[in-house]
Amino acid sequence: MAEALRRSEPVPLAPAEFAGVTIALEPPMARYSLRARDPALLDKAIGGVLPRKIGSIGDGIICLGPDEWLMRMPAGTAAPGKPGEPLSVVDVSERQVAISIEGPRAVEVLRRGNPLDLENFPVGSGKRTVFEATEIVLIRETDTRFVIEVWRSFAEFVWGVLVKAATES
């Protein structure tokens, strides 16, 4: 019976390494979808100030829209807020996985399936976008390191496209 409860990842645990790029599954983390018409309520719930500009990131929280944020924290981080507050905090930790793409060819590999102008995508920002028609949140951590947040059910497909793009020159 314990076997049925064991978590399995939709992509390999070992990184895929190619010339100029490494594709890897990121460790599990706590993720919360935050929504509120009045961002001040969420500011109070998190004990800080949410980023207000779409695409900006602050303290692990990405502003995805005028009233929507994705909070990415270490595994086990408790949800912000209290019951009865007029805000939405949804635990999406198990819905999503994160895949990193790192190395001097990261932009080239991502460009195969993403329409953004990645050369001008600022470091320290994140956006909801698509990768090969799959909705993702793309985060640029450094000049050569990106993270894709993708629903677990699409992760195997996205991984396969990334690996194929990395093997082609």
Question: DSSP letters along 45-77, please?
Answer: HHTS----STTBEETTEEEEETTEEEEEEETTP
Could you report the average pLDDT of every consecutive run of 10 residues in the chain (169 residues)?
Answer: 60 89 95 90 88 94 94 91 82 94 97 94 96 97 98 95 91
Model pLDDT, residue 1 = 46
Model pLDDT, residue 45 = 87
Contacts 24+ apart (CB under 8 A), 120-127: 122/55, 124/56, 124/57, 125/55, 125/56, 125/57, 126/55, 126/57, 126/62, 126/64, 126/70, 127/54, 127/55, 127/64
Q: Is 101 left (phi over 0), alpha (psi -120 to 50) or beta?
A: beta
Model pLDDT, residue 7 = 59
Q: Where are the domains of the chain?
A: 14-28+94-167, 30-91
Neighbours of 23 (CB within 10 A): 24
- Tokens, residue 13: 């645990």
- Look up the CATH architecture of domain 14-28+94-167: 2-Layer Sandwich (3.30)
Model pLDDT, residue 2 = 52
Whether pTM > 0.85 for this model: the answer is yes
Contacts 24+ apart (CB under 8 A), 43-46: 45/80, 45/81, 45/82, 45/85, 45/87, 45/89, 46/71, 46/80
